[in-house]
Amino acid sequence: MKKYYVYILKCSDGFLYTGITNDLNRRIKEHQKGLLKTCFTYKRRPLELIFSQNFNDVEQAIYFEKKIKKWSSKKKLALAHGDFDMLVILAECRNATHYKYKSNND
């Protein structure tokens, strides 16, 4: 059964890069070597792998990658550190229009 990996790299400038691959070791080496000058990580080396999650289903992996690519850096770091309490806090909607912040008179 083929495995797919969603991963997060921490770049030397602090930016986080999220990607997907079917061979994590190969892909990390490619990032570190800087094989593609047009790649986001090319000028941001060295890189540190801070998170990876494996999947048996490519569709699930793609869905998860797209989901976390939209997350803030703080949220991605909470995931990487396994800080699930912080992840819940950061995921909570804090907009003034959220139902929790509306009064009964609205």
Q: pLDDT of 35-63, one tens digit each?
A: 888 999 999 999 999 999 999 999 999 99
Integer Cα distance of 93 and 99 in angstroms = 9
> Residue 9 burial (CB < 10 Å; 0-12/13-18/19+)?
buried
pLDDT at 44: 96
Q: Report, as ranges of residue numbers, the positions in the chain whose pLDDT lies below 50.
A: none
pTM for the model: 0.86
Share of the chain above pLDDT 70, in %: 87
- 73 CB neighbour count, 10 Å cutoff: 12
- Domain 4-101: which CATH number of 3.40.1440, 1.10.10, 3.40.390, 3.40.50: 3.40.1440
β-pair partners for 62? none
